[in-house]
Protein backbone atom coordinates (compact mmCIF):
# COMPACT_ATOMS: atom_id res chain seq x y z
CA UNK A 1 0.00 0.00 0.00
CA UNK A 2 1.37 3.40 -1.00
CA UNK A 3 1.30 6.42 1.27
CA UNK A 4 -1.72 8.67 0.52
CA UNK A 5 -2.98 6.36 -2.29
CA UNK A 6 -6.23 4.92 -0.98
CA UNK A 7 -7.73 3.04 -3.93
CA UNK A 8 -7.02 1.60 -7.37
CA UNK A 9 -4.90 -1.32 -6.18
CA UNK A 10 -4.81 -4.61 -8.06
CA UNK A 11 -5.22 -7.81 -6.09
CA UNK A 12 -2.14 -9.76 -5.04
CA UNK A 13 -1.40 -12.24 -6.48
CA UNK A 14 -2.62 -11.68 -10.06
CA UNK A 15 -2.08 -13.82 -13.12
CA UNK A 16 0.12 -12.54 -15.95
CA UNK A 17 -2.98 -12.16 -18.11
CA UNK A 18 -4.68 -10.04 -15.45
CA UNK A 19 -1.55 -7.89 -15.15
CA UNK A 20 -1.51 -7.22 -18.89
CA UNK A 21 -5.24 -6.47 -18.95
CA UNK A 22 -4.81 -3.95 -16.11
CA UNK A 23 -2.93 -1.48 -18.35
CA UNK A 24 -6.31 -0.64 -19.92
CA UNK A 25 -8.19 -0.45 -16.62
CA UNK A 26 -8.36 2.46 -14.12
CA UNK A 27 -5.82 1.34 -11.50
CA UNK A 28 -3.16 3.37 -9.73
CA UNK A 29 -0.50 1.64 -11.87
CA UNK A 30 -2.11 2.27 -15.28
CA UNK A 31 -0.58 5.67 -15.98
CA UNK A 32 2.67 4.59 -14.33
CA UNK A 33 2.92 2.19 -17.26
CA UNK A 34 1.81 4.55 -20.02
CA UNK A 35 3.98 7.47 -18.88
CA UNK A 36 7.02 5.31 -19.62
CA UNK A 37 5.70 3.09 -22.43
CA UNK A 38 4.97 6.03 -24.73
CA UNK A 39 8.46 7.53 -24.14
CA UNK A 40 9.92 4.06 -24.80
CA UNK A 41 8.34 4.05 -28.26
CA UNK A 42 9.46 7.63 -28.91
CA UNK A 43 13.07 6.90 -27.97
CA UNK A 44 13.07 3.62 -29.90
CA UNK A 45 12.03 5.56 -32.99
CA UNK A 46 14.64 8.25 -32.27
CA UNK A 47 17.53 5.81 -31.92
CA UNK A 48 16.47 3.84 -35.00
CA UNK A 49 16.68 7.07 -36.99
CA UNK A 50 20.07 7.92 -35.46
CA UNK A 51 21.59 4.53 -36.24
CA UNK A 52 19.97 3.59 -39.52
CA UNK A 53 18.36 6.65 -41.16
CA UNK A 54 20.64 9.56 -40.27
CA UNK A 55 22.18 9.88 -43.73
CA UNK A 56 25.70 9.76 -42.30
CA UNK A 57 28.52 7.92 -44.05
CA UNK A 58 29.22 6.11 -40.77
CA UNK A 59 27.52 2.66 -40.66
CA UNK A 60 25.62 1.64 -37.54
CA UNK A 61 28.33 -0.88 -36.57
CA UNK A 62 31.25 1.57 -36.78
CA UNK A 63 33.37 1.85 -33.59
CA UNK A 64 32.64 5.59 -33.47
CA UNK A 65 29.03 4.74 -32.62
CA UNK A 66 29.80 2.24 -29.85
CA UNK A 67 29.28 4.85 -27.07
CA UNK A 68 25.93 5.75 -28.63
CA UNK A 69 24.92 2.07 -28.59
CA UNK A 70 25.81 1.95 -24.88
CA UNK A 71 23.77 5.05 -24.19
CA UNK A 72 20.79 3.98 -26.30
CA UNK A 73 20.67 0.56 -24.64
CA UNK A 74 20.59 2.26 -21.24
CA UNK A 75 17.76 4.62 -22.16
CA UNK A 76 15.62 1.92 -23.75
CA UNK A 77 16.29 -0.63 -21.01
CA UNK A 78 15.33 1.87 -18.30
CA UNK A 79 11.94 2.60 -19.82
CA UNK A 80 11.29 -1.04 -20.76
CA UNK A 81 12.17 -2.29 -17.28
CA UNK A 82 10.06 0.39 -15.62
CA UNK A 83 7.06 -0.62 -17.73
CA UNK A 84 7.62 -4.29 -16.92
CA UNK A 85 7.93 -3.64 -13.20
CA UNK A 86 4.76 -1.58 -13.03
CA UNK A 87 2.72 -4.08 -15.05
CA UNK A 88 3.84 -7.31 -13.37
CA UNK A 89 4.51 -6.09 -9.82
CA UNK A 90 1.38 -7.81 -8.49
CA UNK A 91 2.23 -11.36 -9.62
CA UNK A 92 3.62 -12.13 -6.14
CA UNK A 93 5.60 -10.40 -3.40
CA UNK A 94 8.79 -12.14 -4.47
CA UNK A 95 8.37 -11.23 -8.13
CA UNK A 96 7.39 -7.69 -7.16
CA UNK A 97 10.71 -7.30 -5.37
CA UNK A 98 12.56 -8.94 -8.26
CA UNK A 99 11.04 -6.64 -10.88
CA UNK A 100 11.84 -3.52 -8.90
CA UNK A 101 15.39 -4.73 -8.23
CA UNK A 102 15.73 -5.07 -12.00
CA UNK A 103 14.22 -1.60 -12.37
CA UNK A 104 16.87 -0.11 -10.07
CA UNK A 105 19.62 -2.01 -11.88
CA UNK A 106 18.42 -0.70 -15.24
CA UNK A 107 18.58 2.89 -13.95
CA UNK A 108 22.18 2.30 -12.84
CA UNK A 109 22.93 0.74 -16.22
CA UNK A 110 21.49 3.80 -17.95
CA UNK A 111 23.52 6.13 -15.71
CA UNK A 112 26.74 4.36 -16.63
CA UNK A 113 25.80 4.31 -20.32
CA UNK A 114 25.29 8.08 -20.12
CA UNK A 115 28.77 8.47 -18.66
CA UNK A 116 30.24 6.42 -21.52
CA UNK A 117 28.56 8.73 -24.04
CA UNK A 118 29.75 11.83 -22.15
CA UNK A 119 33.28 10.46 -21.94
CA UNK A 120 33.64 10.05 -25.70
CA UNK A 121 31.30 12.67 -27.19
CA UNK A 122 31.16 15.59 -24.74
CA UNK A 123 34.19 15.71 -22.44
CA UNK A 124 36.85 15.92 -25.21
CA UNK A 125 35.31 19.19 -26.41
CA UNK A 126 35.56 20.92 -23.02
CA UNK A 127 38.24 23.54 -22.40
CA UNK A 128 38.25 22.37 -18.78
CA UNK A 129 39.82 19.07 -19.86
CA UNK A 130 42.32 20.57 -22.29
CA UNK A 131 45.71 21.00 -20.60
CA UNK A 132 46.75 23.56 -23.25
CA UNK A 133 43.90 25.78 -22.04
CA UNK A 134 43.83 24.98 -18.33
CA UNK A 135 47.54 25.33 -17.54
CA UNK A 136 47.74 29.03 -18.55
CA UNK A 137 44.23 29.62 -17.15
CA UNK A 138 45.25 28.39 -13.68
CA UNK A 139 48.47 30.40 -13.81
CA UNK A 140 46.68 33.62 -14.79
CA UNK A 141 43.65 33.32 -12.50
CA UNK A 142 45.20 31.69 -9.42
CA UNK A 143 48.88 32.37 -9.84
CA UNK A 144 49.65 28.66 -9.54
CA UNK A 145 52.41 27.34 -11.77
CA UNK A 146 50.91 23.91 -12.25
CA UNK A 147 51.01 21.70 -15.31
CA UNK A 148 47.45 20.38 -15.58
CA UNK A 149 48.37 17.61 -18.01
CA UNK A 150 48.80 14.96 -15.31
CA UNK A 151 45.67 15.96 -13.40
CA UNK A 152 43.51 15.88 -16.50
CA UNK A 153 44.98 12.55 -17.58
CA UNK A 154 44.25 11.12 -14.12
CA UNK A 155 40.66 12.36 -14.27
CA UNK A 156 40.13 10.82 -17.70
CA UNK A 157 41.55 7.52 -16.47
CA UNK A 158 39.24 7.46 -13.44
CA UNK A 159 35.92 8.64 -14.92
CA UNK A 160 34.64 5.29 -16.16
CA UNK A 161 35.91 3.13 -13.25
CA UNK A 162 34.39 5.53 -10.70
CA UNK A 163 31.10 5.66 -12.61
CA UNK A 164 31.11 1.85 -12.72
CA UNK A 165 31.52 1.58 -8.94
CA UNK A 166 28.79 4.20 -8.39
CA UNK A 167 26.40 2.24 -10.61
CA UNK A 168 26.85 -0.92 -8.56
CA UNK A 169 26.73 0.96 -5.23
CA UNK A 170 23.52 2.77 -6.17
CA UNK A 171 21.84 -0.51 -7.07
CA UNK A 172 22.87 -2.04 -3.74
CA UNK A 173 21.51 0.98 -1.82
CA UNK A 174 18.20 0.97 -3.69
CA UNK A 175 17.71 -2.76 -3.19
CA UNK A 176 18.39 -2.28 0.52
CA UNK A 177 15.74 0.45 0.60
CA UNK A 178 13.04 -2.17 -0.02
CA UNK A 179 13.62 -3.81 3.35
CA UNK A 180 11.76 -2.82 6.52
CA UNK A 181 14.72 -1.03 8.14
CA UNK A 182 14.44 1.85 5.65
CA UNK A 183 12.04 4.52 6.93
CA UNK A 184 12.30 6.84 3.91
CA UNK A 185 12.85 4.63 0.86
CA UNK A 186 11.83 7.21 -1.74
CA UNK A 187 14.20 9.82 -0.33
CA UNK A 188 17.03 7.29 -0.22
CA UNK A 189 16.48 6.15 -3.80
CA UNK A 190 16.27 9.73 -5.02
CA UNK A 191 19.53 10.60 -3.26
CA UNK A 192 21.51 7.61 -4.49
CA UNK A 193 20.47 8.17 -8.09
CA UNK A 194 21.53 11.81 -7.83
CA UNK A 195 25.07 10.65 -6.97
CA UNK A 196 25.97 9.44 -10.50
CA UNK A 197 24.93 12.84 -11.88
CA UNK A 198 28.22 14.10 -10.43
CA UNK A 199 29.84 12.57 -13.52
CA UNK A 200 28.46 15.58 -15.43
CA UNK A 201 30.23 18.10 -13.15
CA UNK A 202 32.85 19.00 -15.81
CA UNK A 203 30.10 20.36 -18.05
CA UNK A 204 28.74 22.48 -15.21
CA UNK A 205 32.22 23.75 -14.35
CA UNK A 206 32.82 24.51 -18.02
CA UNK A 207 29.78 26.80 -18.02
CA UNK A 208 31.07 28.62 -14.93
CA UNK A 209 34.68 29.06 -16.01
CA UNK A 210 34.28 29.50 -19.76
CA UNK A 211 31.69 30.80 -22.21
CA UNK A 212 29.84 27.53 -22.77
CA UNK A 213 26.65 29.42 -23.67
CA UNK A 214 28.47 31.11 -26.55
CA UNK A 215 30.66 28.21 -27.64
CA UNK A 216 28.06 25.44 -27.43
CA UNK A 217 24.57 26.90 -26.89
CA UNK A 218 22.87 23.56 -27.59
CA UNK A 219 24.75 21.83 -24.79
CA UNK A 220 24.28 24.77 -22.42
CA UNK A 221 20.51 25.10 -22.86
CA UNK A 222 19.61 21.41 -22.90
CA UNK A 223 22.05 20.49 -20.13
CA UNK A 224 20.60 22.97 -17.64
CA UNK A 225 17.03 22.32 -18.71
CA UNK A 226 17.63 18.61 -18.14
CA UNK A 227 18.74 19.29 -14.58
CA UNK A 228 15.74 21.52 -13.99
CA UNK A 229 13.46 18.61 -14.99
CA UNK A 230 15.42 16.30 -12.68
CA UNK A 231 14.99 18.66 -9.72
CA UNK A 232 11.24 18.82 -10.38
CA UNK A 233 11.07 15.02 -10.70
CA UNK A 234 12.96 14.57 -7.42
CA UNK A 235 10.61 17.02 -5.70
CA UNK A 236 7.53 15.01 -6.63
CA UNK A 237 9.19 11.68 -5.84
CA UNK A 238 10.18 12.73 -2.32
CA UNK A 239 7.32 15.05 -1.35
CA UNK A 240 4.44 12.80 -2.52
CA UNK A 241 2.59 15.88 -3.68
CA UNK A 242 -0.23 16.20 -4.74
CA UNK A 243 -1.69 13.05 -3.08
CA UNK A 244 -0.26 14.12 0.28
CA UNK A 245 -2.46 17.24 0.16
CA UNK A 246 -5.66 15.41 -0.78
CA UNK A 247 -5.37 11.64 -0.16
CA UNK A 248 -7.63 9.64 -2.45
CA UNK A 249 -8.19 12.35 -5.05
CA UNK A 250 -5.20 11.47 -7.23
CA UNK A 251 -5.26 7.69 -6.85
CA UNK A 252 -5.78 6.98 -10.56
CA UNK A 253 -4.68 10.15 -12.35
CA UNK A 254 -2.14 12.76 -11.30
CA UNK A 255 -0.29 11.22 -8.36
CA UNK A 256 3.38 11.97 -7.73
CA UNK A 257 4.85 8.86 -9.31
CA UNK A 258 3.18 9.64 -12.62
CA UNK A 259 4.54 13.19 -12.47
CA UNK A 260 7.95 11.76 -11.57
CA UNK A 261 7.81 9.61 -14.71
CA UNK A 262 6.84 12.56 -16.92
CA UNK A 263 9.64 14.81 -15.71
CA UNK A 264 12.29 12.08 -15.90
CA UNK A 265 11.20 11.51 -19.50
CA UNK A 266 11.64 15.23 -20.23
CA UNK A 267 15.10 15.18 -18.64
CA UNK A 268 16.22 12.25 -20.80
CA UNK A 269 14.69 13.88 -23.89
CA UNK A 270 16.93 16.91 -23.36
CA UNK A 271 19.91 14.66 -22.68
CA UNK A 272 19.40 12.74 -25.92
CA UNK A 273 19.35 16.06 -27.75
CA UNK A 274 22.74 17.23 -26.50
CA UNK A 275 24.33 13.77 -26.73
CA UNK A 276 23.30 13.74 -30.40
CA UNK A 277 24.87 17.17 -30.84
CA UNK A 278 28.02 15.92 -29.12
CA UNK A 279 28.11 13.00 -31.56
CA UNK A 280 27.93 15.41 -34.51
CA UNK A 281 30.88 17.39 -33.17
CA UNK A 282 32.78 14.18 -32.45
CA UNK A 283 32.33 12.92 -36.02
CA UNK A 284 33.71 16.15 -37.49
CA UNK A 285 37.17 15.52 -36.03
CA UNK A 286 37.08 12.09 -34.39
CA UNK A 287 40.05 11.14 -32.21
CA UNK A 288 41.04 7.50 -31.84
CA UNK A 289 38.03 5.23 -32.26
CA UNK A 290 36.46 3.95 -29.02
CA UNK A 291 37.34 0.34 -28.33
CA UNK A 292 34.89 -2.49 -27.81
CA UNK A 293 36.32 -3.25 -24.36
CA UNK A 294 36.18 0.41 -23.33
CA UNK A 295 32.50 0.69 -24.22
CA UNK A 296 30.44 -2.48 -24.70
CA UNK A 297 32.90 -4.48 -22.59
CA UNK A 298 32.28 -2.20 -19.63
CA UNK A 299 28.51 -2.47 -20.11
CA UNK A 300 28.60 -6.28 -20.23
CA UNK A 301 30.73 -6.42 -17.08
CA UNK A 302 28.24 -4.10 -15.37
CA UNK A 303 25.37 -6.41 -16.35
CA UNK A 304 27.17 -9.31 -14.68
CA UNK A 305 27.84 -7.31 -11.50
CA UNK A 306 24.28 -6.00 -11.28
CA UNK A 307 22.97 -9.51 -11.87
CA UNK A 308 25.02 -10.77 -8.94
CA UNK A 309 23.68 -7.96 -6.73
CA UNK A 310 20.09 -8.82 -7.60
CA UNK A 311 20.70 -12.53 -7.07
CA UNK A 312 22.14 -11.79 -3.63
CA UNK A 313 19.16 -9.70 -2.57
CA UNK A 314 16.63 -12.16 -3.94
CA UNK A 315 18.18 -14.91 -1.86
CA UNK A 316 18.38 -12.89 1.36
CA UNK A 317 15.97 -9.97 1.21
CA UNK A 318 12.97 -9.48 3.46
CA UNK A 319 10.25 -9.16 0.90
CA UNK A 320 7.65 -6.53 1.62
CA UNK A 321 4.99 -4.61 -0.25
CA UNK A 322 6.82 -1.31 -0.14
CA UNK A 323 7.47 0.42 -3.42
Give domain limits for the chain: 16-316
Q: Is 222 annotated as a binding residue?
A: no
DSSP character string of 11-59: PSS--HHHHHHGGGS--TTHHHHHHHHHHHHHHHHHHHHHHHSS--SS-
Which residues make Cβ contacts (< 8 Å) with residue 245, sequence separation at least 6?
Answer: none
**What is the pLDDT at residue 186?**
65
Give yes or no for a contact between 114 and 159, defined as CB atoms under 8 angstroms apart. Answer: no
Alpha-carbon dihedral angle through residues 259, 77, 224, 274, given to the nearest 10 degrees: -140
Q: Is 261 annotated as a binding residue?
A: yes
Query: What value does the CA radius of gyration of the chain take, rounded to a whole number of Å?
Result: 21
**What is the pLDDT at residue 53?**
85
Residues of the chain with pLDDT under 70: 1, 180-188, 191-193, 195-196, 317-323
Q: Is 61 annotated as a binding residue?
A: no
As a whole number of angstroms, the distance between CA 110 and CA 180 comes to 27
Give yes or no for a contact between 19 and 96, defined as CB atoms under 8 angstroms apart. Answer: no
Give yes or no for a contact between 70 and 296, defined as CB atoms under 8 angstroms apart. Answer: yes
**What is the pLDDT at residue 182?**
56
Measured over the CA atoms of residue 109, residue 113, residue 119 and residue 125, the dihedral's sign is: negative
CA dist 62 → 83, 118, 217, 292 (Å): 31, 18, 28, 10
**What is the pLDDT at residue 184?**
63
As a whole number of angstroms, the distance between CA 265 and CA 273 comes to 12
pTM for the model stands at 0.93
Give yes or no for a contact between 211 and 197, defined as CB atoms under 8 angstroms apart. Answer: no
Amino acid sequence: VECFILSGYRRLPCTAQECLASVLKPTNETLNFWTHFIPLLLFLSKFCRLFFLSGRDVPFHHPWLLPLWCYASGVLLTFAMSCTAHVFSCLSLRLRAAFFYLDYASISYYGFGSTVAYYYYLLPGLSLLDARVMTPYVQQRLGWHVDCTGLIAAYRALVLPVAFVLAVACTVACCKSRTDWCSYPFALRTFVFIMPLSMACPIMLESWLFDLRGENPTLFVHFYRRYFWLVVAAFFNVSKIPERIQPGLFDIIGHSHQLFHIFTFLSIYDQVYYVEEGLRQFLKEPPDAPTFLGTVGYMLLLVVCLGLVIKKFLSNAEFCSKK
